[in-house]
């Protein structure tokens, strides 16, 4: 890695996008039942997904003409001459609670109808109970209908307070369009319109390989000179938040072990490695996957990066390889800058860009002028950026306590308190 082959962060981001986005666009859709989606949602473990094809309503919404109000179903023509001076008086017919299919409206009567209950055949309008005389059904809430006669002091236009069958969506029409992220309203609309199965975009499957002979998977005992795998945990959560499925493995700095894991990774869409890309003597990713580009990106942390193609599985599929440095803050800052936006755009389940704005620094900072420096910070009560920890790329607990990434562009060697910086909100 020399000064001359160092890329700008923007250029590297564009190259990651150019390599990864087309690979994700090609992934197949899968059919899932709405019941399975709901069961997953109920456990809190659902992967947010977009529909890969239009879902069409099996039944219309509403499924039948129904009342928008508690009131009386009437024939509008019966009330044409009603006025305060000469109200139209009618006998009260059988009440129609929600969930009951009424018989036809008897001519000359008004049928008590509750919100959502079918409008009886022959009725074409609903008069709100507040506009009837008496303005109650008699017995009070829950007590049924006790009034036997009702008077109306005004005409009503046909269609008033009638929710017409199919006015939301007709049977056979698109109820949720392809490309729409599946959220609460979409789930409700699918369920209500009788859709049992949908075609969804398969979540990208990312194989996360934490390389390092010193690494121990989370939960295992720690020996001398060993380190628990932070990147597998961090990237599993970060990738999950942008709608990816993740397989995370720890791989020692051994080419055969790395190739062995790749050979088993048949359905990965992207391979993401951490570690093993810098200038040490045991750089397994850089040394083994040598068809890929490895070089420097003008940023701190996250300088050493790799990008290319890698062969996975028995079928020897070729998929994108994105290689981040191993220091946990480097890996996560690399994820924020290079991979998270591409994946979020591909899945559509989270905004591709973090909320960004400008804020004044609460304290001075120094920055290597040739590099984009990404520092970690929090906003103080006055909305000023306080740094959390120093620039060291091993300060993971500090990153965990930070709420913003602070961008100090190349060309800047020092900023003073009060100078304004670009920040990304990461929490």
Q: Which residues bind Mg ion (CB under 5 A)?
A: 212, 275, 326
- Asked if 347 is part of the footprint of ligand AMP (rule: CB under 6 A), the reply reads no
**Options 118, 238, 275, 302; binder of ligand AMP; rule CB under 6 A:** 275
Output the smallest distance, CB 367 to ligand AMP, in A: 21
Site for ligand AMP in 70-129 (CB under 6 A): none
Output the smallest distance, CB 326 to ligand AMP, in A: 3
Measure CA of the first residue to CA of the last residue in the chain; give whole Å: 34
The residue among 24 and 246 lying less far from ligand AMP, judged by its C-beta, is: 246
Output the smallest distance, CB 395 to ligand AMP, in A: 12
- Site size toward ligand AMP, by CB under 6 A: 17
CB-based contact 75:81 (threshold 8 Å)? no
Nearest to 277 by CA among 206, 226, 210: 210
Radius of gyration of the chain (CA): 32
Output the smallest distance, CB 401 to Mg ion, in A: 25
The residue among 214 and 419 lying less far from ligand AMP, judged by its C-beta, is: 214
How many alpha carbons lie under 13 Å from residue 179 in its C-beta half-sphere?
2
- Asked if 274 is part of the footprint of ligand AMP (rule: CB under 6 A), the reply reads yes
CB-based contact 66:117 (threshold 8 Å)? yes
Output the smallest distance, CB 23 to ligand AMP, in A: 24
Site for ligand AMP in 205-244 (CB under 6 A): 210, 212, 214-215, 227, 229-231
The residue among 87 and 287 lying less far from Mg ion, judged by its C-beta, is: 287
Cα dihedral 334, 338, 343, 349, rounded to 10, equals 80
- Asked if 327 is part of the footprint of ligand AMP (rule: CB under 6 A), the reply reads yes
Nearest residue to ligand AMP, scored by beta-carbon proximity:
326
The residue among 232 and 326 lying less far from Mg ion, judged by its C-beta, is: 326
For CA atoms 112, 116, 118, 120, give the dihedral sign.
Answer: positive
320 binds, among ligand AMP, Mg ion, none (CB under 5 to 8 A by kind): none
The residue among 327 and 367 lying less far from ligand AMP, judged by its C-beta, is: 327
334 binds, among Mg ion, ligand AMP, none (CB under 5 to 8 A by kind): none
Distance in angstroms (rounded) separating the CA atoms of residues 172 and 131: 38
Output the smallest distance, CB 333 to Mg ion, in A: 17
Output the smallest distance, CB 418 to Mg ion, in A: 40
Site for ligand AMP in 277-306 (CB under 6 A): 278, 280
Beta strand pairing status for 109-113 and 88-92?
A: parallel
Distance in angstroms (rounded) separating the CA atoms of residues 339 and 346: 11
Query: Does residue 208 sit in helix, strand or coil?
Result: strand
173-178 long-range CB contacts below 8 Å, 24 or more apart? 173/56, 173/57, 174/54, 174/55, 174/56, 174/57, 175/55, 175/56, 175/57, 175/61, 176/51, 176/54, 176/55, 177/51, 177/54, 178/50, 178/51, 178/52, 178/53, 178/54
Distance in angstroms (rounded) separating the CA atoms of residues 124 and 60: 19
Residues of this chain that interact with ligand AMP (CB under 6 A) are: 210, 212, 214-215, 227, 229-231, 274-276, 278, 280, 325-328
């Amino acid at each position: 890695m020399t000064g001359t082959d160092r890329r700008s962060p923007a250029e590297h981001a564009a190259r990651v996008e150019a390599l990864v986005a087309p690979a994700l666009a090609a992934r197949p859709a899968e059919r899932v039942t709405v019941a399975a989606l709901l069961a997953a949602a109920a456990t809190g473990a659902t992967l947010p997904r977009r529909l890969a094809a239009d879902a069409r309503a099996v039944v219309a919404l509403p499924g039948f003409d129904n009342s928008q109000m508690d009131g009386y179903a009437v024939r509008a023509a019966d009330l044409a001459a009603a006025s305060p001076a000469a109200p139209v008086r009618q006998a009260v017919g059988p009440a129609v609670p929600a969930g009951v299919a009424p018989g036809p409206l008897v001519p000359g009567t008004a049928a008590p109808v509750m919100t959502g209950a079918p409008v009886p055949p022959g009725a074409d309008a609903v008069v709100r109970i507040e506009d009837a005389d008496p303005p109650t059904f008699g017995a009070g809430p829950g007590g049924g209908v006790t009034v036997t006669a009702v008077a109306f002091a005004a005409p009503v236009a046909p269609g008033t307070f009638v929710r017409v069958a199919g006015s939301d969506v007709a049977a056979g029409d698109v109820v949720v369009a392809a490309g729409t992220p599946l959220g609460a309203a979409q789930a409700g609309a699918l369920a209500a319109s009788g859709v049992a199965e949908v075609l969804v975009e398969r979540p990208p499957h990312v194989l996360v390989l934490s390389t390092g002979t010193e690494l121990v998977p989370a939960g295992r005992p720690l020996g001398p000179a060993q380190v628990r795998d932070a990147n597998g945990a961090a990237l599993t959560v970060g990738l999950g938040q942008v709608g990816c499925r993740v397989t995370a493995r720890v791989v020692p700095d051994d080419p055969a072990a790395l190739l062995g894991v790749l050979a088993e990774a048949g359905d990965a869409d992207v391979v993401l490695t951490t570690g093993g890309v810098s200038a040490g003597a045991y750089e397994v990713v850089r040394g083994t996957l040598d068809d890929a580009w490895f070089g420097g990106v003008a940023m701190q942390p996250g300088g050493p990066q790799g990008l290319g193609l890698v062969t996975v599985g028995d079928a020897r599929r070729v998929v994108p390889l994105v290689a981040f440095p191993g220091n946990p803050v480097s890996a996560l800052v690399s994820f924020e800058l290079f991979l998270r936006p591409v994946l979020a755009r591909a899945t559509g389940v989270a905004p591709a860009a973090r909320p960004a704005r400008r804020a004044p620094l609460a304290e001075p900072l120094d920055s290597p002028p040739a590099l984009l420096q990404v520092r970690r910070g929090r906003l103080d009560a006055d909305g000023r950026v306080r740094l959390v920890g120093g620039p060291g790329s091993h300060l993971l607990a500090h990153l965990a306590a930070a709420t913003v990434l602070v961008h100090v562009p190349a060309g800047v060697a020092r900023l003073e308190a009060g100078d304004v910086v670009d920040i990304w909100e990461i929490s």
